Amino acid sequence: MKTFKIGGVHPAENKLTAEVPSRPAAIPAQAVFSMYQHIGSPAKPVVKKGDVVKVGTLLAEADGFVSAPIYSSVSGTVSKVDAIVDASGYRRPAIIVDVQGDEWEEEIDRSADLVTLTDRPELTSEEIVARVKKAGIVGMGGATFPTHVKLTPPPGSKADCVVINGVECEPYLTADHRLMLEKTDEVLVGISLIMKAVKVEKAYVGIENNKPDAIARMQEKAARYPGIEIVPLKVKYPQGGEKQLIQAITGREVPPPPGLPIQVGVVVQNVGTAFAIYEAVMKNKPLVERMITVTGKPLARPANLWARIGTPMKALIDECGGMPEDCGKVIGGGPMMGKALMNLDVPVCKGSSGLLLMNGKESRRAAIQPCIRCAKCVGACPMGLEPYLLATASAFKKWDVVEANDIVSCIECGSCQFTCPSNRPMLDNIRIGKSTVMALIRARNAK
Amino acid sequence: MHLIWIAVLILGAVGLVSALVLFVASRKFAVEEDPRIGEVSEVLPQANCGGCGYPGCSGFAGACVKAADAGSLDGMLCPVGGQPVMERVASILSMSVAAAAPKIAVVRCNGSCVNRPRVVSYDGVKSCRAALMTGTGETACAFGCLGCGDCVAACQFGAISINPETGLPVVDEEKCTACGACAKTCPRKIIELRPKGPKGRRMVVTCVNRDKGAVANKVCQASCIGCGKCVKTCPFEAITLTSNLAYIDPEKCRLCRKCEEACPKGAIHAINFPPRKPKAEPAVAASVSEKPEQPAAEKTAARSNVESN
């Protein structure tokens, strides 16, 4: 079975919600739309206080090419255009809408009928990209990079295949798994649209073999869509990393930063993004809701919820049995790469794939012991780096050493820290080193 | 026997030739260094702290000599050695130096454990920069001190320590040389180099929160809310209010302490002043410009932790 070549770890899977069918979450009383839901320049608000909006009304437009518009996911009145504390802990501009009823813009097709590419043969690749751009779709796996940018290969480069990420290597998370099971055809049509947009004939869907039902369902239905191949992969974290997935499926190696997948002829998209693209192009529905896994051992009823963008995280927890008493940490995303939330009023964003509650004992770090030179971290690093060296050199501010040892290649997957028997905080130090080196490189290039 | 002689001769010849080569090279490629650079270096503190903005003391010495050749030593200051060292440097270079006011590092945050409640706990690496990557630190204030002590680690003179009671850095006035290493390291730019002031007395706004008043008020009892009372009170126009934050210009401040009284949040601190008299009395021992004191208002505002500096 295929997998990436070097490094990787296998954390306990804990997929508590793998068997739980998705259901829509309640519409909140107030929805909050952060202007920072994607990488790139923040969106620019186009509504003001008192404006009446419906589901699918444009709230903020894209500011530049690497940016994405934001649509209302609820109907009601704009109560404030202000700043809110978002997942970063800082106050950032946002639009707050008081919800009344649930009215949708007329042009959105809300029926469940499947529209395939054969029904719409007139769609050109430019049109697909334009619709994706208009719908405000960003990478749904969590990176939130505007999708239309990825679907527009830079001049001089040409993709020869599309790699679809259905790996979901993060423990606990099952949103992509449920999406592949429940919306199989929609996801496959979405993949066909991506293939048409980047003008390739071949798409590979990587799925880890801890989801045999999803693999079987996708394989069964993919037979009807030309060029789509389902590739079962061995379970290993961080297989969902772009570079790792490309290596696992195609055997190609993406050059180190600033190298991009397109340089080896690959465009990578998440299954969630494929589904959003289907809805945007075929159903005229902008990105207003997404599946999010709300899970964790202390939680009473973990679930996969279709949440409207802008729903406060607190409402989702309440829907899954309320805040448990023994909760030490709430993480936005998965346990490996997610970020602990500082407050629960943070809204669901386009990139929110999971909400994980940890009990008091799980959430605390173990005592840090001295490094015993076992080199487990070196073996675990999927990028072939030497985490112990990078961490120590960063702690001592040896920026030249960390730069020479390729710290910018680090994908911050945390495998080193996970595998360390001495619980050394390697990733914390490496992040400091990486951000410093990147700032130094930027300063050098600016000269 | 003759084997030894052969060895001696060969080695001797090699040595002689090498010596010749080295002699020629040392003459031909000799680097002319201004002897004054060495002399200036000798009077510098040799802490190599970089506080002057040059790479180490010899770098600063070179820059001083260059500046002297250009005609003036203006702007050249060794913050560690201060005025006495600069005078010696000037005498070596037969120049004169302008009198520079001695400076000191000032911590502009009063978000102690009492004033600013902890909303989350952080158990990662004890470094402000690492804490910053996870969010806004342990409190909800997006501007205040993180308390992980990056400034303590940066100080080469042992002049900063974290007060375990307040969780805030405290500057030792005796040891601080105003090299600026802490100010440069602080990721939140809380530490500022300010003139020490006459008798070490100075007025400081101990807050850097630029949020709107209501927001700042919510996260910290001791925050500046940008109400502008101090600006109106100041008779010398020394206080400016930019993006909801008051700033006292040390050049214009005449140490009248009126702003301290006016501040409803206790965010303005008078450092190294004698304690106020409880009743209205003409100030006798205070500084020249000080007017008669107002009756000390009952302060319900934040507890001061700065005066214990």
pLDDT at residue A288, as a whole number: 95
Measuring CA to CA, how many Å separate B296 from each of B95, B257, B286, B292, B305? 50, 11, 16, 12, 19
Q: Is residue B307 part of a domain?
A: no
The nearest alpha carbon in chain A to B210 belongs to A91
CATH number, residue B201: 3.30.70.20
In the predicted model, is pLDDT for residue A297 greater than 90? yes
Q: Which of A281-295, A399-413, B287-301 has the lowest mean pLDDT?
A: B287-301
Task: Give me the percent of chain B exceeding a pLDDT of 70.
Answer: 88
Q: Is residue B249 part of a domain?
A: yes
* pLDDT 10s digits, B116-126: 888 888 888 88
Rounded mean pLDDT, B39-57: 86
CB contact under 8 A, A425 and B129: no
Report the amino acid identity of residue B111: G
Q: B72 and B122: one domain?
A: no
Q: B191 and B243: one domain?
A: yes
Measuring CA to CA, how many Å separate A127 from each of A151, A220, A267, A270, A272? 12, 29, 18, 20, 20
CB contact under 8 A, B130 and A431: yes
Q: Is residue B143 part of a domain?
A: yes
Give the residues across from A83 on adjacent strands.
Answer: A93
Q: ipTM value, please give it.
A: 0.83
Rounded mean pLDDT, A115-119: 90
| Confidence band for A443, pLDDT divided at 50, 70 and 90 | very high
Residues 6+ apart with CB under 8 A from B120: A340, A342, B135, B138
Q: B190 and B236: one domain?
A: yes
Which residues in A lie closer than 8 A to residue B120 (C-beta atoms)? 340, 342
Q: B160 and B212: one domain?
A: yes
| Confidence band for A309, pLDDT divided at 50, 70 and 90 | very high
Which residues in B lie closer than 8 A to residue A431 (C-beta atoms)? 130, 133
Measuring CA to CA, how many Å separate A146 from each of A130, A142, A200, A287, A397? 12, 11, 20, 12, 34
Q: How far apart are CA B3 and CA B18, in angstroms?
A: 23
Q: B82 and B228: one domain?
A: no
| Phi, psi (degrees; rounded to nearest 5) at A94 | -155, 165
Q: Name the domain boundary from B69, B92, B115.
A: B92
The nearest alpha carbon in chain A to B122 belongs to A364
CATH number, residue B73: 1.10.15.40
CA B55 vs. chain centroid, Å, equals 18
Q: Is residue B261 part of a domain?
A: yes
* pLDDT 10s digits, B248-282: 999 899 999 999 999 999 999 998 888 877 655 44
Rounded mean pLDDT, B301-306: 47
pLDDT at residue B278, as a whole number: 66
Contact A365, A304 (CB under 8 A): no
Query: Does B123 contact A at CB distance below 8 Å?
Result: yes
- Please give the residue range of the domain that contains residue B235: 103-271
Q: B196 and B79: one domain?
A: no
CB contact under 8 A, B135 and A428: no
Best to test chain A binding among B125, B150, B217, B219 (most A CBs inside 10 Å): B125
Report the amino acid identity of residue A405: N
Please tell me the total count of domains within chain B: 2
Task: Give me the percent of chain A exceeding a pLDDT of 90.
Answer: 87
pLDDT at residue B289, as a whole number: 42
* pLDDT 10s digits, A331-366: 999 999 999 998 899 999 999 999 999 998 888 889
| Confidence band for A170, pLDDT divided at 50, 70 and 90 | very high
Q: How far apart are CA A250 and CA A204, in angstroms?
A: 9
pLDDT at residue B302, as a whole number: 47
Q: How far apart are CA A277 and CA A288, in angstroms?
A: 12
* pLDDT 10s digits, A5-58: 999 999 999 999 999 999 999 999 999 999 999 999 999 999 999 999 999 999
Q: How far apart are CA A104 and CA A358, in angstroms?
A: 37
Q: B119 and B247: one domain?
A: yes
